[in-house]
Amino acid sequence: SEFLPKDHPRYESIRMREHLVDMVDAKVLAPEGLIAHGRGEAFDYLIGEKTPDCVLGPIRAAAAALLTAERPIISLNGNAAALCPEAMVELAEATGAKLEINLFYRSRERIEAITKLMEKAGAREILGTDEARQGQIPEIGSERKRVDSEGILIADTVFVPLEDGDRTEALVKMGKRVITIDLNPLSRTSRTASISIMDHIVRAVPAMTRAAIELKKLNKTECLTVLDGFDNDKAFAEALRFISARLKALAGDAS
Ligand code: ATP
Ligand code: MG
């Protein structure tokens, strides 16, 4: 913004908020997406606004899951498309996963706005845009149940950053491996997913791409070992311990 000095302590955060407001005007983001972002930011304070070391394991496991999957899909909602379109394209290219648009507040207008944005970011193929190819996830009420019958419906691994708890649970029930990014380790999504990454999406997605590029130097069996060695309940406990230790240190408590 013209009013915002670059040395403002919250420069990045404010710049991101202004960008998201622009993305609401551009129909990429539903207004509700702004509220979800605010909730994420609150948790970012707790982790110190940088990727904690304890999240590197989940990031690496997520990259291994996408690389070794038969049919991996990266699900895009308005927030993900608005915040890191290029990074999403790079992750798709590094892992061989396909991109699919999937919206809670689904409209033709939004699908078209997101498609345009993603194509500008370099995406070549985008699923979830063809009404004739629609399939449905059972047990979900919202518009988010509509998925591409050649994408999420038949995927074995789905990456759903900033996802809602209901849908994460439904995807897991369908037998899919579900990866999420969610700054809130206590959300139903974080608790239900197969792999939960407690980090900001703009930091975690490029980190996943870097991990994928490293893992590609290994063979498939070695990649599967990385994946099998991952335990989401253990990672959840570590994430909570990290926040707890950080708060104790800030409070001046002896450890
Ligand atoms: P749940 O349904 O899983 O219990 P919720 O209802 O609190 O969660 P939703 O609005 O359904 O949340 O999903 C958005 C989630 O994404 C929130 O948990 C929020 O913390 C998280 N989030 C929002 N913005 C970001 C971001 N930029 N990076 C990472 N996580 C984010
Ligand atoms: Mg929710």
The ranges assigned to domains in the chain are 53-244
DSSP three-state, residue 135? strand
Q: Which of 45, 55, 187, 192 to mutate to test the pocket of ligand 1 (most atoms within 8 A of CB)?
A: 187
Residue 218 structure tokens: 């290994």
Residue from 159, 144, 149 nearest 110 by CA: 144
Q: What is the ipTM of this complex?
A: 0.96
Determine which residue's CA is closest to atom 9 belonging to ligand 1. Answer: 164
Kindly give the distance from the C-alpha atom of residue 119 to the centroid of ligand 1, in angstroms, as a whole number: 25
**Each residue of 17-47: pLDDT tens digit?**
999 999 999 999 999 999 999 999 999 999 9
Q: Which of 13, 84, 162 to mutate to test the pocket of ligand 1 (most atoms within 8 A of CB)?
A: 162
Kindly give the distance from the C-alpha atom of residue 23 to the centroid of ligand 1, in angstroms, as a whole number: 18
Q: Is the pLDDT of residue 235 over 90?
A: yes
Q: Residue 1: which pLDDT band, with cuts at 50, 70 and 90?
A: low
**What is the number of the ligand closest to the CA of 84?**
1
d(CA 91, CA 213): 10
Task: List pocket residues of ligand 1, CB cut-off 6 Å.
Answer: 36-37, 39-40, 43, 79, 83, 162, 164-165, 181-184, 187-189, 200-201
* Residue 169, φ and ψ in degrees, nearest 5: -60, -45
Q: Is the pLDDT of residue 166 over 80?
A: yes
53-244 is a CATH 3.50.30.20 domain:
no
DSSP-assigned letter for residue 97: P
